[in-house]
Amino acid sequence: MNVMYATDENYVEIMAVSIKSMVLTNKWEKIHFYLVEDGISKESRQALEAMISESGNEVAFIPKPDIRGMLGVELKTLRWSDSAYSRLFLKELFGTDNEIEKLLYMDCDTLIVDSLKELWNTDISDYLGAACLECMSNMHKRIIGAKPKDNYINTGMLLLNVKRWIDENIQDVEADFIRKNHGKTEYVDQGVINGTVSNRFKLVSPRYNLTALAYDFTYEEMQIYRKPSFGYSKAEWMKADVHPAVVHFTTSFLSVRPWYEGSKHPYAKRWKEIHNLTPWKNEPFRELKNRAERDKKEELYRNMPRGLAVRLAGFLHAYVKPMVYKIK
């Protein structure tokens, strides 16, 4: 199984937990890890090499491409790193004569809690890849040029058809989109993929990319909050919630991610257990920036009648947030 992550030094500890969790739950096949790195330290590299090799798997480090230089535009990534764009440039990362036909990309802020064998064996020969739908409103689609009927996927987990991606020069399509938008796309690489080729991805069960939404809202509340034009059925969401394979710790105003003090996420305990098995086990919890402001927002939300609170949050996310992003 070929697996790719992308990180800088700030996220290397979090990535290590995801890697360790993948190794522990996927012993059915040797894993070849490809780590796209943006200035990680020599010490971090050595720690990762030791952790991965002792499990009988392999690792290769790939320097992050000079994406800004290739594009010739200034990237406006806001809270994200340039590394987020790396998954788009497979030709730059692996060349045209590589032997990799299929690649599983995983975000660093994930925890693998079950086997990925079924996902890995998904037939994507007629697709650019496989992914999970993101619950997103039409307004968010509109600002990247997508239509209401188009798929909107979460790019935190992508099973990629590397050969087709390279042969069809998809990275050139993505590069042109970034230039056309002057280096600014909502949710960086996710916005790029959804603005160009999302309909060419095979959709798989949400259990392979279960985000914070699943734990912060009921299914009915999620429809009100995110206002998607279509998505997974309630039965599909409930099944994934009970038996996830990949837990994705996406940002949320209602929950704190497990590497911060005070996280109450249902999988925070499991994340900490895996963290204790990595070379970073003695590192303390991180301090959450603007914690007081965030706590006030959550308190305000929880003190309101639940139905009203969900509708207000939905209006802000589905309509106000994309408009604010567009005019910034």
Q: Of 3.90.550.10, 1.10.10.1590, 3.30.470.20, 3.40.50.300, which CATH number belongs to 2-327?
A: 3.90.550.10
Closest CA to 20 of 54, 46, 45, 61: 54
- Mark out the alpha helices in the chain (DSSP H runs): 12-25, 42-53, 67-71, 90-94, 117-120, 138-142, 162-167, 170-180, 188-194, 213-216, 219-226, 234-242, 268-275, 291-303, 306-315, 321-327
DSSP assignment of 96-142 = SS----EEEEE-TTEEE-S--HHHHT---TTSSEEEEE---BHHHHH
Burial 277-300 (b: 16+ CB within 10 A, else e): ebbbeeeeeeebeeeeeeeeeeee
Would you give per-residue pLDDT tens digits along the chain (328 residues)? Answer: 999 999 999 999 999 999 999 999 999 999 999 999 999 999 999 999 999 999 999 999 999 988 888 888 777 766 777 778 888 999 999 988 888 999 999 999 999 999 999 999 999 999 999 999 999 999 999 999 999 999 999 999 999 999 999 999 999 999 999 999 888 888 889 999 999 999 999 999 999 999 999 999 999 999 999 999 889 999 999 999 999 999 999 988 888 999 998 899 999 999 999 999 999 999 999 888 877 777 888 888 888 899 999 999 888 888 888 877 776 6
192 dihedral zone (left: phi>0; alpha: psi -120 to 50; beta): alpha
3-class secondary-structure state, position 256:
coil
Q: The pTM is what?
A: 0.94
